[in-house]
Amino acid sequence: MDQKFYDAMADCPIIAAVKNEEGVEKCLNTDVRIVFILFGNICSIKNVTERVKSAGKIALVHIDLIEGLGEQDFAADFIKENTKADGIISTRLNLINRARELGLYTVYRIFLIDSRAFQSIERQKYQIKADFIEILPGIMPKVIRKITDFSKQPIIAGGLISDKEDVMEALMAGAISVSTTKSDIWCV
C-alpha cells in the first residue's frame, strides 16, 4: 500500500461515498481526498471515475454495485483497463484478490449484522488480503475496537454515519477513516 492513500486519510479522515451524480458534483468541491463510487454501470463508470480523478481525488469503485459487472475475477480487470479508478470496494474476496494482483487499492466491505458475522471476520482474518476493511454499520464503536484489536488491516467505518459525533466515535474506537454519503459532514 503506497503512502498516498494514508496521507489522503490523514488530511481528511472522511471519505465521500457517492451514490448518484448529485453526490459526485458535491464532493468535487470539497476537501475530501478519497471518493467511494457506489453507483454506475459499465457504460457510465469510466466518465464518473475520470471526473473524480480530474478533481485530484482518489477514486474507488464499489465493483459489486456496478450494473453489468458480475462476480467473476474479470470484473476487476474491467475496472483496471477501462477506468481511471485507483481501486475497488467489494464484499467478494475473489474480486479483492484479483484487484490486488492488478495493483489496485482494495477495500473489503463487511456487513456486521450479528455475532456470526463478527465471528466470520475473526476466522477469516488470515485470508483477508485487502488493504482496508470497511465495517458497516460504522456506528458501533465497541465492535470497531474489537476488530482493530485482531485485524492487521486498517478499519474504515461506514454506513449510518449521520453526524460529526458518529465520525469522532468511530475514529476514537480505532477506525482510520469513515465513509459517508452525508455531504454536510464531508471535509469542506
| All structural domains of the chain | 3-182 (3.20.20.70)
What is the torsional sign of CA 64, 70, 73, 75?
Answer: negative
Condensed to tens digits (0 to 9), the pLDDT of residues 18-53 reads 999 999 999 999 999 999 999 999 999 999 999 999
Condensed to tens digits (0 to 9), the pLDDT of residues 153-186 reads 999 999 999 999 999 999 999 999 999 999 999 9
CA 71/CA 69 separation, integer angstroms: 7
CA 170/CA 51 separation, integer angstroms: 29
Reduced to 3 states, what is the DSSP secondary structure of residue 111? strand
CA 88/CA 95 separation, integer angstroms: 9
Phi, psi (deg, nearest 5) at residue 149? -65, -30
